[in-house]
Amino acid sequence: MVPDRDAQVIGTVLESRYRVLERLGRGGMGDVYLGEDTRLRRRCALKILHAELAEDRTSVERFLREAQMIASLDHPHIVDIYSFGEEPSGLVFFAMELLQGEDLDARLRRRAAHPFTPHDACVWAIEIARAVACVHDSGLIHRDLKVSNVFLARRRDGQEICKLLDFGIARAEDSSELTETGVTLGTPSYMSPEQIRNANLDRRSDIYSFGVVLFKLLTGRVPFTGEPIQVAMQHCEAPPPAPSSVAPAAGISPALDAIVLKAMAKKPGDRFQSMQEVGQALTELLQREAPALAPVTAARPPHDAQPSVSQPVPIAPGQSDAERAALASTPAPALDAATPGQGAQTSPPTVAAPPQPRRSRLLLPLAGAGLLAAAAVAFALNRGDAPQPRPQIVASPPTPPTTPITSPEPPAPIHTAAPAEPQPELEPPPQPEAASSDEALPPLDPEVTPAPAVEKKKSIKPAAPLDPLKQVERKAQKCRKAHGALDGPKIVVDYAVGLDGKVTRSVPSVHDALGKCLAEAVLSTPFEPKLALGRKVSL
């Protein structure tokens, strides 16, 4: 069946724009193909609904609803949708960004011999939590959170970030479809008790599934195993084991156990009440426990850090894939200062590390009279602070820095480790002060993480043109004049508009030369940069 399907699909151009090149994989609802956007000359991924499902209108609507839901979200940790539609030939598809990398489930299987450290697991989990929080803030529930629906996307600079995928069974939180009788959708190993029982669902069901994802990140396995019916019963009745009891050698703290078990509470009211709460709890945990977790990360065998990832900042030989991905969303100097591998070096290289002069400039007023004393205090502060900035998973807005206050305690070892060379590095304060203050700030409250997405919207979405329909009417008049049909019957053009204001679909009700001209008139007109489906205009 699949080869026949490939022969039918490969080479096809969808919406006169997306050329299908080759099949990449097969999913539950559709096949994923490598595609090319012939207008923008870029590669993309094309998800095409299975032929047998394309004959079922309910499946078609569910598939297109998934595309519409993802397209309505704008977040760095959610896959981007470019366009979607239904061809006259019966092909139903959507075009999305082409991701390089592997899903989190594949990474966990590949690293079975060397599981993630608690720090690594929390880094990934915070990124996932922020993506799910964006979904919830949009009034949706994902309903199928699992490690195979999280993709570790490798960017052009070699860094990795989490991307949330597959919204095929997502629903609006107030939708009646969330409680359809006799319908249970999801993956049993990750489903909440209320989802298994077909009870009323809200965002706290996703929080339970997130707890299972975090459990697997920490231990390499799900909390309950067995036949699907047995797993479902355990989710409803059995208390989950503490992650530390499943992986006693992983260094999982009681506080981290408590976060997982609270997320997986049987009663929704006993769980975290929002993904922002979960992200905040994990961030605060890293702030408290980074010093304890750092030696575990540093002890990682060097080959765990070998996958080809080009780093723009110095990293420790023992740094894991997750720590490198964290660099994609963390100020480089902050992580660099907290890297355990560098702390193991001799003190002069630590003083000469790139981030240190910036942090030292903040402390010059405390130095006393001489430059040598200033260098000594800066060195002591950097040594004392080194583990704390590690939890800074994302860039943070300006807030009063409080961490340096406790640092001046160890003055004794100062003078032995401060060579004369660092003095010139401390002298030039003319370097940008704003950058140094940003790098020394505490982590961002997870509730405000979508801020970069807002800036992205402003930069990529053009201002809405004036009266696009009037432009279409003027072009339509030219078409009718050119075809000698000024007084002919009206032709209806069915069209859709993408998030960038470009028309993604333009189909006339009459497929003659005039109809094609009118469809092209609509297609070439810019509209308000807002997603709109099923629009019609009579021309």
Most confident of 57-71, 402-416, 506-520: 506-520
Q: Are residues 66 and 173 both part of a single domain?
A: no
Active-site residue 120, yes or no? no
Closest CA to 335 of 277, 281, 294: 294
Instruction: Indicate whether 493 belongs to any domain.
Output: yes
Closest CA to 321 of 69, 104, 521: 104
Task: Assess whether pLDDT exceeds 60 at residue 248.
Answer: yes
Q: Are residues 82 and 150 both part of a single domain?
A: no
Least reliable range by pLDDT among 99-108, 261-270, 331-340: 331-340
Instruction: Indicate whether 344 belongs to any domain.
Output: yes
Q: Are residues 472 and 390 both part of a single domain?
A: no
Alpha carbons 484 and 328: distance in angstroms, whole number? 59
Q: Are residues 445 and 479 both part of a single domain?
A: no
User: Which of 96, 123, 149 is a domain's end point?
Assistant: 96
Q: Are residues 121 and 179 both part of a single domain?
A: yes
CA distances (Å), 41 to each of 37, 44, 96, in order?
A: 5, 10, 14
Q: Are residues 200 and 281 both part of a single domain?
A: yes
Q: Are residues 442 and 499 both part of a single domain?
A: no
Dmax (CA) for the chain in angstroms is 95
pLDDT tens profile 425-466: 444 444 444 433 333 334 434 443 444 443 444 444 444 446
Between helices 254-263 and 275-298, what is the axis angle to 10°? 150
Determine the pLDDT at residue 497. Answer: 79
Q: Are residues 64 and 178 both part of a single domain?
A: no
Most confident of 170-184, 343-357, 516-530: 516-530
Instruction: Indicate whether 320 belongs to any domain.
Output: no
User: Which of 33, 63, 96 is a domain's end point?
Assistant: 96
Q: What is the pTM of this model?
A: 0.53
Determine the pLDDT at residue 388. Answer: 43
Alpha carbons 247 and 242: distance in angstroms, whole number? 9
Alpha carbons 179 and 273: distance in angstroms, whole number? 20
Q: Are residues 489 and 354 both part of a single domain?
A: no
Catalytic site residue from 31, 120, 144, 304? 144
Alpha carbons 120 and 217: distance in angstroms, whole number? 9
Contact 332, 407 (CB under 8 A): no
Alpha carbons 438 and 331: distance in angstroms, whole number? 8
Q: How confident is the model at residue 171 (pLDDT cuts 50, 70, 90)?
A: low
Q: Which residues contact 428 (CB under 8 A, 6 or more apart)?
A: 357
Q: Residue 183 is part of which domain span?
A: 101-298
Q: Report the DSSP pairing between strands 18-26 and 13-14.
A: antiparallel
Average pLDDT over the chain reads: 71
User: Which of 435, 457, 479 is a domain's end point?
Assistant: 457
43: domain CATH number? 3.30.200.20
Sequence-distant contacts of 15-23: CB under 8 A, at least 24 apart:
15/83, 15/85, 15/87, 15/504, 15/505, 17/83, 18/44, 18/46, 18/83, 18/93, 18/95, 20/46, 20/48
Instruction: Indicate whether 307 belongs to any domain.
Output: no
pLDDT tens profile 341-366: 333 333 333 333 334 444 434 333 43
Instruction: Indicate whether 385 belongs to any domain.
Output: yes
If one counts every other C-beta atom within 10 angstroms of the C-beta of residue 458, the result is 7
Write the DSSP assignment of 378-444 as a string of letters: HHHHHHHHTTTTTT--S--------GGGGTTS--TTHHHH--STHHHHHS-TTS-HHHHHHHTSPPP
Instruction: Indicate whether 432 belongs to any domain.
Output: yes
Q: Which residues contact 40 (CB under 8 A, 6 or more apart)?
A: none
Alpha carbons 535 and 539: distance in angstroms, whole number? 13
CA 355 to chain CA centroid, nearest Å:
27
**What value does the mean pLDDT take over residues 402-419?**
43
Sheet holding 492-497, edge to edge: 503-508, 492-497, 532-538
Q: Which residues contact 436 (CB under 8 A, 6 or more apart)?
A: 358, 359, 361, 362
Task: Assess whether pLDDT exceeds 50 at residue 251.
Answer: yes
Alpha carbons 518 and 325: distance in angstroms, whole number? 48
- Total tally of structural domains belonging to the chain: 4
Q: How confident is the model at residue 143 (pLDDT cuts 50, 70, 90)?
A: confident
218: domain CATH number? 1.10.510.10
Q: Are residues 185 and 120 both part of a single domain?
A: yes
387-413 as b/e, with b when 16 or more CB fall inside 10 Å? Answer: bbbbbbbbbbeeeeeeebeebeeeeee
Q: Are residues 280 and 401 both part of a single domain?
A: no
Instruction: Indicate whether 68 belongs to any domain.
Output: yes
Instruction: Indicate whether 178 belongs to any domain.
Output: yes
Residue 458 assigned ligand-binding role: no
pLDDT tens profile 282-338: 999 988 886 544 333 333 333 333 333 333 333 333 343 333 333 333 333 333 333
Q: What is the Rg, in whole angstroms, of the alpha carbon atoms belonging to the chain?
A: 27
Q: Are residues 478 and 411 both part of a single domain?
A: no
